[in-house]
């Protein structure tokens, strides 16, 4: 039986791989011959030639670049939206005080397997993404994504359809939610990163406010994520060494002074967030 939160331990037999590849190639092959195939290929994310060159994209007006890709807009538009809404990014000390006051709850948006390994005491787990597996493949696009990413040792993920409902349940009537992930990312601009650095928790906040699940005043961000909390000397339930922070693209320096050791070095991204 397959474990949907443990894709990297899957042992895919030859039959499963051949079935997936056959399905993908059959659908793509049918789409190839005529000029009407372009929309199908574009829908599958394969129409690379039609995408503007990065240099051209940088010259485009900001609004025209903020196109929707799946469940999320591009990062430049997403981070600007969070800044415009005035989303607060709390250092660990302030987040802990808010929770102790009874006005806020910490929500871990990482996959369940990581929450089970280690998390901030009392935090709730509402994963933003779920792993793409053989059991939840949906269409040729997801089949191709699954094959390509697994071949490169990357865990493909898709939006968790139960995320927003889980957020509603965690928030109740008037509770403020403080969302966190592994290393937090940042909304702060710098010379090297004018759009800050992306993270699951920041994407999750955008999704919550964009879909009007909660007003921006009731959603906050934990600066530095679990890694920053741990480095600040605060309690973590479970075994945690900070090793996963170096495997994400989100370990960055923040105003809270956490994550700085990982902010400039190249990081290995072994999971796909979209």
Write out pLDDT tens, residues 152-174.
777 777 889 999 999 999 999 99
CATH class label, 7-262: alpha beta
**Phi/psi at 59 (nearest 5 deg)?**
-85, -10
pTM of the model: 0.66
Return d(Cα 103, Cα 175) in angstroms, integer.
6
Question: Diameter of the chain by CA atoms?
Answer: 64
Position 71 pLDDT exceeds 90: no
27: Cβ–Cβ under 8 A, 6 or more apart, which residues? 140, 143
Read off the pLDDT band of 102 (50, 70, 90).
very high
Which residues, in sequence order, are CB contacts of 24 under 8 Å at separation 6+?
A: 140, 143, 144, 147
**DSSP string over 29-48:** HHHSSSGGGHHHHHHTT--G
Contacts of residue 76, defined as CB under 8 A and 6 or more positions apart, other chains included, come to: 62, 65, 66, 195
Alpha-helical (H) ranges within 172-224 are 200-210
For 187-211, the pLDDT digits (tens) are: 999 999 999 999 999 999 999 999 9
Query: Does the pLDDT at position 77 exceed 70?
Result: yes
**pLDDT score, position 184:** 95
Between CA 11 and CA 67 the distance in angstroms is: 37
pLDDT score for 248: 52
> Cα separation of 224 and 180, whole Å?
8
How far, in Å, CA of 7 to CA of 204, rounded? 22
């Amino acid at each position: 039986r397959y474990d949907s939160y443990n894709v990297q331990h899957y042992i895919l037999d030859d039959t499963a791989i051949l079935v997936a590849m056959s399905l993908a190639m059959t659908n793509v092959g049918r789409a190839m011959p005529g000029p009407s195939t372009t929309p199908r290929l574009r829908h599958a994310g394969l129409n690379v030639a039609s995408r503007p060159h990065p240099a051209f994209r940088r010259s485009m007006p900001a609004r025209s670049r903020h196109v929707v890709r799946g469940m999320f807009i591009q990062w430049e538009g997403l981070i600007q939206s969070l800044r415009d809404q005035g989303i607060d990014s709390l250092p660990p000390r302030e987040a802990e005080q808010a929770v102790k006051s009874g006005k806020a709850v910490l929500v871990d948006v990482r996959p369940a397997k990581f929450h089970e390994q280690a998390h901030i005491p009392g935090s709730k787990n509402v994963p933003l993404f779920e792993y793409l597996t053989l059991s939840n493949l949906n269409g040729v696009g997801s089949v191709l994504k699954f094959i390509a990413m697994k071949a490169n040792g990357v865990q493909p993920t898709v939006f968790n359809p139960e995320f927003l409902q889980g957020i509603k349940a965690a928030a109740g009537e008037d509770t403020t939610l403080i969302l966190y992930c592994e290393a937090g990312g940042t909304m702060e601009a710098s010379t090297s990163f004018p759009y800050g650095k992306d993270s699951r928790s920041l994407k999750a906040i955008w999704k919550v406010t964009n879909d009007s699940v909660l007003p921006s005043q009731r959603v906050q961000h934990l600066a530095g994520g679990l890694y920053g909390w741990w480095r600040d000397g605060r309690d973590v339930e479970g075994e945690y060494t900070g090793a996963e922070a170096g495997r994400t693209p989100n370990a960055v320096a923040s105003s809270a002074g956490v994550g700085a050791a990982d902010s400039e070095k190249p990081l290995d991204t072994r999971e796909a967030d979209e």
